[in-house]
């Protein structure tokens, strides 16, 4: 004869039922995170861990984007939990990138900003990314060209232009993040962008924009009239 089921079993069933009936929007961050942790922790309650993660990092998005080592600083987080969180992050990025790639990038600007912020807006070090576009402004390639420190990434103008030529791109969008959270362009950001524009223009490669992303939002050089 089977004994009584653990208390967390009924709780999980209720959460799943509510998710199926009302969707994710009806659930607070901690409950959605609880459900993400179900597979990683099959035989324990996940509510307390979910709340500890949110207390440490601040939001569902920041938990999913947190570096592995920082996640493991939270009591109860092991390899299985880290793998589950990173799987969710990778799946979300794959979906967002496929939506951006389905048509002209410039006509789905809001989706692109959501993708870029998810991809690197919470990264602990600067990353320099380039989106390579064809003559119809469709995405040819999305590549991280370099990873730097908390406040600097080396960018080599010749390598940027060389890669665009290799891919037969006619336009590019430059992207990097500010780990401080503030996306305001620095003087070095502005000067580097102008050097790339000057090198690319004679070769028929347009620089549509340079976007800086951070936890607090994004900044567009074109919108700021810096290019």
3 falls in which pLDDT band (50, 70, 90)? very low
- Report H helices in the chain: 7-22, 29-37, 47-57, 60-65, 68-71, 79-101, 109-120, 157-166, 187-200
Q: Which residues contact 165 (CB under 8 A, 6 or more apart)?
A: 203, 205
Q: Taking Cα atoms as reference points, which of 74, 140, 143, 79 lies closest to residue 105?
A: 140
60-111, pLDDT tens digit by residue?
Answer: 988 998 889 999 999 999 999 999 999 999 999 998 888 888 888 888 888 9
Q: Taking Cα atoms as reference points, which of 76, 156, 150, 139 lies closest to residue 103?
A: 139
Residue 45 in this model has a pLDDT that exceeds 70: yes
Quick one: tokens of 28?
Answer: 């607070």
> What does the DSSP 8-state code read for residue 145?
E
Domains and CATH numbers, the chain: 7-92 (1.10.150), 103-220 (3.40.140.10)
1 falls in which pLDDT band (50, 70, 90)? very low
- Classify burial at 85, counting beta carbons within 10 Å of its beta carbon; exposed 0-12, middle 13-18, buried 19 or more: buried
Q: Taking Cα atoms as reference points, which of 201, 202, 184 lies closest to residue 210?
A: 184
pTM, to two decimals: 0.78
| Residue carrying the six token digits 């730097």 | 148
185-206, pLDDT tens digit by residue?
Answer: 999 999 999 999 999 999 999 9
The dihedrals phi and psi of 139, each to the nearest 5 degrees, come to: -75, 120
User: Mean pLDDT across the chain, nearest whole number?
Assistant: 89
> What does the DSSP 8-state code read for residue 146?
E
156-177, pLDDT tens digit by residue?
Answer: 899 999 999 999 999 999 999 9
The dihedrals phi and psi of 209, each to the nearest 5 degrees, come to: -170, 165
Q: Taking Cα atoms as reference points, which of 148, 217, 144, 146 lies closest to residue 185?
A: 217
């Amino acid at each position: 004869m089977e004994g009584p089921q653990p208390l967390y079993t009924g709780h999980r069933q209720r959460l799943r039922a509510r998710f199926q009936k009302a969707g994710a929007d009806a659930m607070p961050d901690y409950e959605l995170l609880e459900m993400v942790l179900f597979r990683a922790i099959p035989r324990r309650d996940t509510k307390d861990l979910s709340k500890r993660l949110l207390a440490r990092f601040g939001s569902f998005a920041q938990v999913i984007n947190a570096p592995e080592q920082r996640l493991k600083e939270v009591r109860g987080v092991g390899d299985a939990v880290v793998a589950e969180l990173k799987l969710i992050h990778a799946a979300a990025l794959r979906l967002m990138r496929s939506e951006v790639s389905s048509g002209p990038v410039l006509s789905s600007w809001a989706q692109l900003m959501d993708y870029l912020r998810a991809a690197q807006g919470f990264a602990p070090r600067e990353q320099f990314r380039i989106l390579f576009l064809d003559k119809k402004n469709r995405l040819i390639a999305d590549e991280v060209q370099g990873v730097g420190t908390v406040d600097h990434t080396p960018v080599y103008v010749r390598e940027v232009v060389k890669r665009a030529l290799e891919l037969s791109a006619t336009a590019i969008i430059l992207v990097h993040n500010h780990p401080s959270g503030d996306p305001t362009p620095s003087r070095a950001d502005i000067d580097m962008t102008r050097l790339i524009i000057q090198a690319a223009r004679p070769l028929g490669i347009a620089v549509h924009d340079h976007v800086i992303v951070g936890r607090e939002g994004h900044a567009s050089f074109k919108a700021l009239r810096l290019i």
